Amino acid sequence: MGGVSIAMRAVGGLLAVVLLAGPGLAVPASAQPKPSVRLKPAAAGTRAMWLWRPDAVRPVDVLAWARARGVREIFVHADARLPSSASRLARLRELKRGADTARIRLTALGGDPEWAADHAAARTWQRAVLGTGLFAGSHVDVEPYVLPRWRTDQAGTVTGLLRMLQLLQADDARPLEADVPFWYHTVPAGPRTTLADAVLARVDAVTVMSYRDTASGPNSLMAVGADMLARATRAGRPVRLAAETAPLADCPYCTFHEEGGARMTAALAEVDVAARAYPAFAGIAVHHYPSWRAMRP
């Protein structure tokens, strides 16, 4: 990132990385790390879910499923071409009308690992999808650690990811939420701070990909999610934990697919109780609608 240097700023009791722009890269005041907010843990049973293929499902079915399971927010995938697609707009407008009636929030879901470097693509996406008026905010799933350059230039990739979040935050006043892995606290983001803390300073909320098939004990949802719950509580950011329902042959303990719906429901209820110890806890997001619906009882 040419012309960018790094400084430290206290945010919510934490030291966070602040990108300071050189010539031609001014960072607007609204892109600076956000102040903390007062938190209260979500009520038991508060759920969200991902919807990656809204054009492949009937809105009435999605909303009936969501209402029956306490889903209060749906992360609806949309790409930058949405405004030019009459059929997709019509489908999402139908979903929005039903969601408004059911008091379910719709958030625009998008992301690409390359957005950590291609900030123009990220900003174009957000402006396009939020410009439709269908969404209450942005939910980004950007996983730069899958890129080869994460291994060759991790520091530069981290800087790019944080800059992207700053720019998205500055471009629109609506809330910005990011999906994050539970291990971001192990990644440096400057002297005496971590990528977990730096991301928390730049977004309104996070969803932790805490994909495990048990509620408590070693290598469980609570075990892998506790670090971000604690950091988010200190930073004043709501944080959701997340559960997986799709089959994962290479990581069967990462999904409830084999356990079935009843076992997952019981485990998530246990997480609701345990996570209330953290004021930042904002409920549980389930990945994702078709595989959740297809689970055996």
> What is the rounded distance in angstroms from the CA atom of residue 77 to the CA atom of residue 209?
17
pLDDT score of 34? 73
What is the average pLDDT across 45-60?
98
pLDDT tens for residues 55-105?
A: 999 999 999 999 999 999 999 999 999 999 999 999 999 999 999 999 999
Q: What is the pTM of this model?
A: 0.89
For the ranges 8-17, 127-136, 211-220, the lowest mean pLDDT is seen at 8-17
> What is the rounded distance in angstroms from the CA atom of residue 128 to the CA atom of residue 262?
39
Judge contact between 82 and 132, C-beta under 8 A.
Answer: yes
pLDDT score of 5? 30
pLDDT at 207 over 90: yes
pLDDT score of 37? 79
pLDDT score of 9? 29
Judge contact between 97 and 106, C-beta under 8 A.
Answer: no
pLDDT score of 15? 28
Residue 33: which pLDDT band, with cuts at 50, 70 and 90?
A: low
Instruction: Give the closest residue to 198 by CA, choosing from 38, 2, 15, 29.
Output: 15
DSSP collapsed to 3 states, 29-78: HHHCCCCCCCCCCCCCCCEEEEECCHHHCCHHHHHHHHHHCCEEEEEEEC
Mean pLDDT, the chain, rounded, equals: 90
**Phi, psi (rounded to 5 degrees) for 5:** -120, 175
CATH superfamily of 4-21+46-294: Glycosidases (3.20.20.80)
In DSSP notation, 280-292 reads TEEEEEEE-HHHH
For the ranges 1-5, 71-75, 225-229, the lowest mean pLDDT is seen at 1-5
pLDDT score of 169? 98
What is the average pLDDT across 16-36?
43
pLDDT at 22 over 90: no
pLDDT at 7 over 80: no
pLDDT tens for residues 155-174?
A: 999 999 999 999 999 999 99
pLDDT score of 38? 83
pLDDT score of 36? 76
pLDDT score of 226? 98
Q: Which residue has the higher pLDDT, 4 or 120?
A: 120
> What is the rounded distance in angstroms from the CA atom of residue 148 to the CA atom of residue 53?
28
Percent of the chain residues past pLDDT 90, beyond the cut: 87
> What is the rounded distance in angstroms from the CA atom of residue 224 to the CA atom of residue 227?
7
Residue 17: which pLDDT band, with cuts at 50, 70 and 90?
A: very low
pLDDT at 187 over 90: yes
> What is the rounded distance in angstroms from the CA atom of residue 137 to the CA atom of residue 107?
5
Residue 13: which pLDDT band, with cuts at 50, 70 and 90?
A: very low
Q: What CA dihedral angle connects 83, 85, 86 and 88, to 10 degrees?
A: -100
Q: Which amino acid is at 65?
A: W
For helices 86-102 and 59-68, give the axis angle rounded to 10 degrees. Answer: 30
